[in-house]
Amino acid sequence: MKRYVFPSIILIAVAVLLLACSQKQEGKADATTSLNEKISVKTVEGEASGFDCAVVEVLCPSTHRAADFTTGIFTPQKEFYFIVNIPQSFMTQYFLEKMSVTGKIYHPYDSALEPEQIYLLKNGERKLVYDAGYFYDPQGHKAMFNQGRVVNGVWVCDQCAGESK
């Protein structure tokens, strides 16, 4: 009987380890699934305005254009969305203009929107000004932010920036 005790203990230990390892791997799969469930795509429309005014549920006055505010989208429902992972100066150039932004929201940070597309809404038309990492300057040139700069408050490609000197 004694000769079966040691192998039985080894067998039980291996079974416990296998069970524990399989539960950890299932937990990892659940974490990945729940992360994917936390990402959604949303489109918001509103005016480019500052966060400081949005916290008191008002649109910024035009005198705030030159102020150092965090610019995002203020909706007619008085909700404010931070537009993240693009330069603030890009949003500021459209201060108080109507815009439509489609992008990813990572829950629970539902007021932060990572843009995929940004449209300027003017005179009943939609003008694409940002698409998947590229901005469009006033001349219609498409560039990444590292291929452009701000000239007189407006983002332009490097070629146009060189011409404006």
pLDDT value at 115 more than 50: yes
Residue 165: its pLDDT value, please? 56
pLDDT at 31 over 60: no
Q: Is the pLDDT of residue 20 over 80?
A: no
Q: Is pLDDT larger for residue 102 or for residue 11?
A: 102
Return the higher-pLDDT residue of 65 and 89: 89
Cα–Cα distance, 103 to 112 (Å, whole number): 10
Residue 3 has pLDDT above 70, yes or no: no
Q: Is the Cβ–Cβ distance between 31 and 24 less than 8 Å? A: no
163 — pLDDT class (breaks 50, 70, 90): confident
Helices (H), the chain: 2-37, 51-54, 88-92, 158-163
Look at residue 37 and tell me whether its pLDDT is greater than 50: yes
- pLDDT value, residue 35: 64
Q: What is the mean pLDDT of residues 148-155?
A: 94
Strand partners, 135: 130, 143
Report the percent of the chain where pLDDT is more than 90.
61
Among the listed ranges 5-14, 50-59, 101-110, which one has the minimum average pLDDT value?
5-14
Please determine, for residue 7, whether its predicted confidence score (pLDDT) is greater than 50. Answer: yes
Looking at the predicted structure, is the pLDDT value of residue 98 above 80? Answer: yes
Lowest mean pLDDT among 17-26, 45-54, 123-132: 17-26
The reported pLDDT for the residue numbered 29 is 47
d(C-alpha 160, C-alpha 104), whole Å: 31
